[in-house]
Structure 1
Amino acid sequence: MSFVAPEQADGSLVLALHSSSAVLGVGLAQGQVGQNQVGETIAVSRLSRAFPLDRALSNHLFTAVEEVCPADQWPRITRLAVAIGPGGFTGTRLTVVMARTLAQQLGVPLDGVCSGLLIARRLQIQEPTWLVQELPRRGVVAGCYGPDVSAWGGVIELEAARLYGSGLDLPPGPQLPAQPELPGDVDQLLDMACLAAAEGRPGPWQPVLPIYPTSPVHPTSSVAQQ
């Protein structure tokens, strides 16, 4: 879904955060969010960056976000979006906590989106497809996604991501690697947030929680929400 600059703009900002992999993605859209004459979501301008921080995320998260959206501009944020995983325990949790805190303090909507949905949307899958991520010595995390023109963002989660023993344990169907790509996936997240704003979708911050391949409390469980 492309973005086209309209003639008039306001100063509102939409901020998107994605840290479900070793790379942090930060996206920012500015201006009047709406739809153009062919139904595409529009915003005046957008910027997305990828930061390969890996384990240094906890020390550099705020610095990276401020490179895209300085803190003195945060009061202009009118909507936030965050990838909720599946992903690493620390990385996913940090951006979700930051997004929840900003949404609460600013009193703005927050969209939490599964990283698998973002990958499926980027890949433009045309049939129900399993997105599979291998976990060393643990098995695979896999979820099934398919196109649905009536769904938010045009993609629907048919089977929630969970832990399987191996790819052989999955139900029949096409399989693709669940490999995040940044900043491409944060662009998808930003698109969905702008579409949600254009549609006036509610976005309470309270239900937005990270999901992990395995629970830190019950290591043998499937994908758990903490």
Structure 2
Amino acid sequence: MAIAPEPTLGLALHTTTPQLGLSLRNLVTGEQRTALWELGRDLSAQLHCYLQEFIQPHAWQDIAFLGVTKGPGGFTGTRLGVVTARTLAQQLNIPLYGISTLAAIAFRNRENCLGQTVAVALPARRGAVFGAIYQITATGAIALVPDQLFTPTAWADCQGNFPDLQVIDPPETIGDTVTEVLSLAQSQWQADPQGPWGAVVPFYGQHPVYQ
């Protein structure tokens, strides 16, 4: 009986904005392919089709692990991405790693901020902000202040507690940071190859209606 080859690919999904970002990396050669689509409200209807086309000519059985943005971000897109990734991980019996949208943005600046403390924020509803503070390493973003919802005043006060803090502005196309989502997921996979899919839940921060 032929032995099935070991899976050699890592796959990441970014759905917390109206953009869909997908990134696929060969874990042996380091070759990587990334794509971004502006889908808006069509994200929920087209995600699975784009996913199926994107992994070609590979098969799902070639995927060794999955990474997905868990928020903060849009309620519907965040939920859709996490549910899709959880379903795939469960069906394929592979590890899944949930990556903060803010951590991916922070890690994108690792070349300029290596070893430094950085602040990242995104606008939230009703004038609030989602903010977090990270220390950047060569392989990750260590949360010194985990992702949470702040009033503008509370966020300013929080930043004031960290001398020499670097403030990172989010890119115009946040979905592009799917490459960083994949890198952070790979680092977690190397440190903890289990990655139970059930542990990955969305971070909404705010209820879309009531808060």
* Shorter-chain TM band: 0.7 to 0.9
Structure 1 position 84, deviation (Å): 0.5
Contact 1:47 1:68 (8 Å CA) reproduced: no
Structure 1 position 115, deviation (Å): 1.1
Q: Which amino acid aligns with 2:77?
A: G
Q: Which residue of 2 aligns with 1:22?
A: 18
Equivalent pairs: percent with the same residue?
31
Structure 1 position 158, deviation (Å): 1.0
The structure with the greater share of residues assigned to helix is 2
The whole-number CA distance in structure 1 between the counterparts of 2:192 and 2:125 is 42
Instruction: Confirm or deny that 1:98 pairs with 2:84.
Output: yes
Q: Which residue of 2 aligns with 1:47?
A: 33
Contact 1:122 1:184 (8 Å CA) reproduced: no
Structure number with greater CO (CA < 8 Å, separation at least 6) is 2
Q: Which residue of 1 aligns with 2:141?
A: 155
Structure 1 position 72, deviation (Å): 7.4
Once the two structures are overlaid, the 10-residue window that deviates more, 185-194 or 92-101, is 185-194
Unaligned runs of 5+ in 1: 1-8, 33-41, 221-226
The whole-number CA distance in structure 2 between the counterparts of 1:144 and 1:194 is 21
How many residue pairs match? The answer is 198
How much is the aligned-residue C-alpha RMSD, in angstroms?
2.6
Alignment TM-score, normalising by the size of structure 2 = 0.82
Q: For 2:36, what is the secondary structure of its paired residue?
A: strand
Q: Which residue of 1 aligns with 2:200?
A: 208
Task: Quickly say closer, same or farther: Cα 1:158–1:31, change in 2 above 3 A.
Answer: closer
Unaligned runs of 5+ in 2: none
The whole-number CA distance in structure 1 between the counterparts of 2:171 and 2:76 is 18
Which aligned pairs between 1:158-177 and structure 2 lie closer than 5 A?
158-166=144-152, 169-170=155-156, 171=158, 172=160, 173=162, 174=165, 175-177=167-169
The whole-number CA distance in structure 2 between the counterparts of 1:70 and 1:160 is 36
